[in-house]
Amino acid sequence: MANKLILRALEGETLPVPPIWMMRQAGRYLPEYRATRAQAGDFLSLCYTPDLAAEVTLQPIRRYGFDAAILFADILLIPDALGMDLWFVTGEGPRLSTITSESDFNTLKPADAIHDKLAPVYETVRILSRELPEETTLIGFAGAPWTVATYMIAGRGTPDQGPAHALKAENRALFQAVIDRLTEATITYLSAQIDAGAEVVKIFDSWAGSLKGQDFDDFALEPAKRIIAALKQKHPDIPVIAFPREAGERYEGFAKATGADCVALDNSVDAAWAAVHVQKDGCVQGNLASSHMVTGGQALVDETRRIVDAFSKGPHIFNLGHGITPDADPENVQLMIDTVRSHR
């Protein structure tokens, strides 16, 4: 652990230079990723071919020397393993069969039946645990139940998660059943990733910000709490990062309420505010706007330094506020890393 800076930050240590990784760091902005993606033939084949999934996970580590590698997979592999139809439309994203009624829900497999389908993912983790440099932390992940449910109910991504909100309003019992099944499956999935060698796991709730009031408590906070408690019971030494994206003021207290070791922050919250209201409870991760990876220049340098300074009095993992975009310039990623590591 002494060589793994991210594990030290997650333990609560304030480091002179924050460790760095980047959401979606294995992706389309890298030419080597695009070459491997072409070799795989399609996106799901890339996710389910361990040698290729491990290769794209390793590519940004070789190029940049990030302090962590995050498993290359997709948040919709759980619905796929639960028996839903899943495919990807080039240029448009995922498509799924939908869950809008009790009869649809009854076609889902039980949570403990996902392992056969997801066995290639666990093999990818095993390969990475062997091949990563000894100082590089291996992060596993899953989508949070609410976020995954929004895709399962709509059959695709939506700008406002409207179909999921509608089902939640019309048939809360059915909606709760979907959330419960996903919560159980996520526990099963993340625990298996840990058994295969993941040293940290992260829960991505990309659409948490569209939940308000009691709904946020019931469908963002409570599932995270259940998942983390179950993982901690079985794997007490494995840190968990939670990312309730666009939670706003609800970021405050989220770590204490859920048991998360770290809260990842999007770039809609100010780092100075988060240092006072969120970092007081432990490690924070974030939160540079991903647009800086496209535009670069002095603005990237200045904002990177501002974030490092804001979080310098507590445990911090430097990251973006959301995933890097396909139009990012790889040179700007290097500029960000150099800025973080040279700033005092």
pLDDT at res. 2 = 67
Strands (E), the chain: 68-70, 86-89, 93-96, 137-143, 200-205, 240-244, 262-264, 283-288, 316-320
The SS3 assignment for 205 reads strand
> Cα separation of 62 and 72, whole Å?
15
Going by C-alpha positions, the residue among 269, 260, 223 that lies closest to residue 240 is 260
Q: Is the pLDDT of residue 160 over 70?
A: yes
Query: Count of CB atoms within 10 A of residue 234's CB?
Result: 12
Q: Over the stretch 275-286, which tens digit does the pLDDT of each residue have?
A: 999 999 999 999
The rounded mean pLDDT for the chain is: 97
**pLDDT attached to residue 7:** 98
Residue 1 is predicted with a pLDDT of 60
Q: What is the pLDDT of residues 74-121, one digit of tens each?
A: 999 999 999 999 999 988 999 999 999 999 999 999 999 999 999 999
Strand duo 316-320 + 283-288: pairing: parallel
pLDDT at 324: 98
Tokens of 9: 């930050």
Structure tokens at 291: 């647009």
Q: For position 339, what pLDDT does the model report? A: 98
Cite the active site residues: 24, 28, 37, 74, 151
Residue 91 has what pLDDT? 84
Percent residues over pLDDT 90 in the chain: 98
pLDDT of residue 116: 97
Fold (topology level) of 19-280: TIM Barrel (3.20.20)
pLDDT tens readout for residues 214-271: 999 999 999 999 999 999 999 999 999 999 999 999 999 999 999 999 999 999 999 9
Q: Which of 258, 324, 318, 321 is nearest to 293 (CA)?
A: 324
Q: Is 216 exposed, middle or buried (0-12, 13-18, 19+ CB in 10 A)?
A: buried
Question: What residues does each domain of the chain span?
Answer: 19-280
Residue 99 pLDDT: 98
State if pTM tops 0.95. yes
What digits encode the pLDDT tens for the residues 164-216?
999 999 999 999 999 999 999 999 999 999 999 999 999 999 999 999 999 99
